[in-house]
């Protein structure tokens, strides 16, 4: 197919949508190190996870061998309300940049939750419903995951309690309202509803909270409430499994257009979008079928890939979760208060950490003012106001396209546009009025986090 014939937005039909998720672990030559039970220091067994996670999800978390996993029909049905998502050729952005590169993006923001998070939220709410659970708990930072899970729980009729990082709760009251519109209970974290929250408030009564702290609270609430379990929207292997729908749709669409990316770029917080987008392209790399460059873009203010340690660490601040081997800044790390967007988790998906450690992918960090500059340019030419998180990937793609302009290379660049920025207007306003600043942790800052890593 000739380039000129490639449409601006390309949609698969419903019949062409994937009916199975892809499990990247099945093709990894070396597996990520196992999670450790913090009580015993031994590899966690699936039974260790049952008190926290719903059974089916615990099994998916531990299953490294099933290459493809059937997507339940009920999940497929809800996917069809907003999927397939479009693969967009960024013609206008290419023109504005005067680049010889072709730029594609997979747009996951066309649903009310406003991001890709819904892909895993639906699966997790469905399995919880199937198991007959009475309710779920979770945490949310910027609010995208909480919104997505609220939508999925409303649809499947399961009560949900969301612990929302307090700074975010205060900065984004509308995020709370939208979750409540979908019937969720939203509690600012740290709170007095859990021992973990009380302990943190005792030490630091004025804290704005952190994702790690909200996770501690949500987990505690789940394990102490009859019939409740905890769900998490990133980092976990099971989340990457569900999010593979992004990459599978993208790859199929590109094949139909006669295209294949030279570079695949995703923003990276806990890894949910990045892991999903790159899954089938990483498979090509692992099995030697193709060799696309894969680049993670993370905030300079929360640089877990580029400046973190590859080590065992807790997934939460309260140290009640299993320990995972991952790139981490230490479980008590909190990005500087002027950090505006999400992507603020201290660690990184163990699967992606292993692949990065083994040289299958690269990572770059960018300052937020450069991120918002890219966001504004993108909005002007592609008429989508991106989420700050997604704008990290835009920055990466623009930088790559500008490099191509210098070298004359006609690369095919693919990036993930994970969501929209309608609830981030305060940050947009601060960028516009020049009050937004950058903050890069010093080596000393990071050292403190590394010192507190478990000695394993």
Q: Which residues bind a second copy (CB under 8 A)?
A: 7-9, 11, 13-14, 78, 80-82, 92, 110-114, 118, 151, 154-155, 173-174, 177-178, 180-183, 376, 379-385, 420, 422-423, 425-426, 428-429, 432
Nearer to a second copy, 12 or 236 (CB): 12
Q: Closest approach of Cβ 13 to a second copy, in Å?
A: 7
Task: Count the alpha carbons within 13 Å of 38 in the hemisphere toward its beta carbon.
Answer: 15
**Which H, E and C letters describe 102-160, residue by residue?**
EEEEEECCCCCCCECCHHHHHHHHHHHHHCCCCEEEEEECCCHHHHHHHHHHHHHCCCE
Task: Count the alpha carbons within 13 Å of 417 in the hemisphere toward its beta carbon.
Answer: 29
Q: Closest approach of Cβ 423 to a second copy, in Å?
A: 7
Nearer to a second copy, 14 or 358 (CB): 14
| Residues in a beta bridge with 455 | none
- Which H/E stretch holds residue 263? strand 263-267
Q: Closest approach of Cβ 188 to a second copy, in Å?
A: 16
Q: Closest approach of Cβ 158 to a second copy, in Å?
A: 12
Lookup result for tokens 């660690």: 347
Q: Is the backbone of residue 227 left (phi > 0), alpha (psi -120 to 50) or beta?
A: left
Identify the burial level of 113 via C-beta atoms within 10 angstroms of its C-beta, where 0-12 means exposed, 13-18 middle and 19 or more buried. buried
Q: Closest approach of Cβ 376 to a second copy, in Å?
A: 6
Nearer to a second copy, 406 or 433 (CB): 433
Nearer to a second copy, 250 or 353 (CB): 250
Q: Closest approach of Cβ 430 to a second copy, in Å?
A: 10
- Which H/E stretch holds residue 417? strand 412-417
**Distance between first and last Cα of the chain:** 54
Nearer to a second copy, 89 or 325 (CB): 89
Task: Compute the radius of gyration of the chain from its Cα atoms.
Answer: 20
Q: Closest approach of Cβ 3 to a second copy, in Å?
A: 14
Q: Closest approach of Cβ 255 to a second copy, in Å?
A: 17
Nearer to a second copy, 201 or 379 (CB): 379
Identify the sign of the CA torsion 156, 344, 316, 239: positive
Nearer to a second copy, 138 or 353 (CB): 138
Spell out the residues 6+ positions from residue 86 whose beta carbon is closer than 8 angstroms to its own: 9, 10, 11, 106, 107, 110
Q: Closest approach of Cβ 345 to a second copy, in Å?
A: 25
- Whole-angstrom Cα distance, residue 88 to residue 105? 5
CA distances from 4 to 7, 102, 415 (A): 8, 11, 20
Nearer to a second copy, 202 or 435 (CB): 435
Nearer to a second copy, 14 or 70 (CB): 14
């Amino acid at each position: 197919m000739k380039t000129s014939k490639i449409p601006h937005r390309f949609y698969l039909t419903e019949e062409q949508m994937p009916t199975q998720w892809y499990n990247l672990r099945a093709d990894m030559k070396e597996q990520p190190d196992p999670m450790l039970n913090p009580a015993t220091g031994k590899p966690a067994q699936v039974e260790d996870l049952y008190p926290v996670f719903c059974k089916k999800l615990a099994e998916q978390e531990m299953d490294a061998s099933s290459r493809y996993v059937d997507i339940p029909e009920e999940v497929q049905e809800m996917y069809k309300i907003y999927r397939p998502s479009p693969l967009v050729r960024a013609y206008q952005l290419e023109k504005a940049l005067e680049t010889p590169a072709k730029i594609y993006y997979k747009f996951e923001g066309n649903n009310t939750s406003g991001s890709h998070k819904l892909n895993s939220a639906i699966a997790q709410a469905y399995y919880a419903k199937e198991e007959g659970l009475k309710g779920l708990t979770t945490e949310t930072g910027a609010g995208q995951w909480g919104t997505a899970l609220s939508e999925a729980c409303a649809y499947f009729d399961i009560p949900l309690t969301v612990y929302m990082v307090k700074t975010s709760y205060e900065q984004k009251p509308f995020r709370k309202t939208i979750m409540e519109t979908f019937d969720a209970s939203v509690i600012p974290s740290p709170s007095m509803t859990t021992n973990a929250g009380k302990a943190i408030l005792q030490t630091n009564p004025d804290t704005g909270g952190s994702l790690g702290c909200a996770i501690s609270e949500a987990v505690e609430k789940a394990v102490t409430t009859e019939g409740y379990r905890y769900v998490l929207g990133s980092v976990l292997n099971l989340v990457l499994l569900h999010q593979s729908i992004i990459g599978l749709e993208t790859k199929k669409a590109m094949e139909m257009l006669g295209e294949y990316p030279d570079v695949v770029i995703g923003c990276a917080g806990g890894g949910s979008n990045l892991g999903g987008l790159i899954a089938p392209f990483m498979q090509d790399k692992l099995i030697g079928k193709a060799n696309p460059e894969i680049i993670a873009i993370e905030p300079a203010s929360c640089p877990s890939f580029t400046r973190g340690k590859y080590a065992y660490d807790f997934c939460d601040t309260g140290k009640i979760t299993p320990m995972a081997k991952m790139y981490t800044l230490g479980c008590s790390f909190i990005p500087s208060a002027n950090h505006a967007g999400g992507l603020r988790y201290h660690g990184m998906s163990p699967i992606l950490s292993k692949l990065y450690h083994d040289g299958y992918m690269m990572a770059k960090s960018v300052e937020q003012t450069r991120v918002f500059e890219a966001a504004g340019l993108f909005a002007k030419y592609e008429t989508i106001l991106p989420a700050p998180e997604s704008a990290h990937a835009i920055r990466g793609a623009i930088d790559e396209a500008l490099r191509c302009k210098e070298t004359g290379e006609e690369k095919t660049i693919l990036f993930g546009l994970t969501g929209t920025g309608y609830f981030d207007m305060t940050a947009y306003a601060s960028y516009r009025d020049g009050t937004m600043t950058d903050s890069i942790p010093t080596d000393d800052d990071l050292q403190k986090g590394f010192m507190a890593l478990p000695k394993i």
